[in-house]
């Protein structure tokens, strides 16, 4: 919602963009609330504890696990490269189109 990651938000805030001050405060409050709820309100038990760990090496073997991991990483890179080349600022506008921008 703030248009970036935590690092980008902090960078912009330190640049003097005070619009990101509520985002920073909300980030701190949210992270603190999650940390407290994780241990004391049972969030860990509800979401994580009942699940089983996934280990690709024991499931598929080392060679296949490595190949699958590299294929997924390569696919993600291909999607990111395509998106960067064909779209502007990640909002879906084609480069050069100005009819949708106001």
User: Do 71 and 45 have their domain in common?
Assistant: no
Report the domain count for the chain: 2
Q: Which of 6-10, 27-31, 61-65 has the highest mean pLDDT?
A: 61-65
Task: Count the alpha carbons within 13 Å of 89 in the hemisphere toward its beta carbon.
Answer: 7
User: Do 80 and 47 have their domain in common?
Assistant: no
**pLDDT band (50, 70, 90) for residue 69:** very high
User: Do 46 and 1 have their domain in common?
Assistant: yes
Domain that holds residue 40: 1-51
**pLDDT band (50, 70, 90) for residue 10:** confident
User: Do 46 and 87 have their domain in common?
Assistant: no
User: Do 61 and 99 have their domain in common?
Assistant: yes
Q: In which residue are the tokens 């991991």 written?
A: 69
User: Do 76 and 39 have their domain in common?
Assistant: no
d(CA 39, CA 44): 7
* Token pair in block for residue 89: 């600022």
Number of neighbours of residue 2 by Cβ within 10 angstroms: 16
């Amino acid at each position: 919602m703030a248009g970036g990651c935590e690092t980008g938000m902090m960078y912009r805030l330190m640049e003097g963009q005070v619009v990101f001050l509520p985002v920073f405060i909300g980030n701190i409050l949210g992270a603190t609330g999650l940390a407290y709820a994780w241990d004391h309100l049972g969030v860990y038990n509800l979401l994580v504890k009942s699940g089983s760990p996934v280990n690709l090496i024991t499931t598929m073997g080392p060679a296949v696990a490595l190949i699958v991991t590299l294929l997924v990483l390569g696919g993600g890179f291909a999607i990111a490269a395509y998106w960067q080349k064909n779209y502007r600022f990640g909002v879906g506008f084609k480069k050069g189109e100005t009819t949708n921008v106001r």
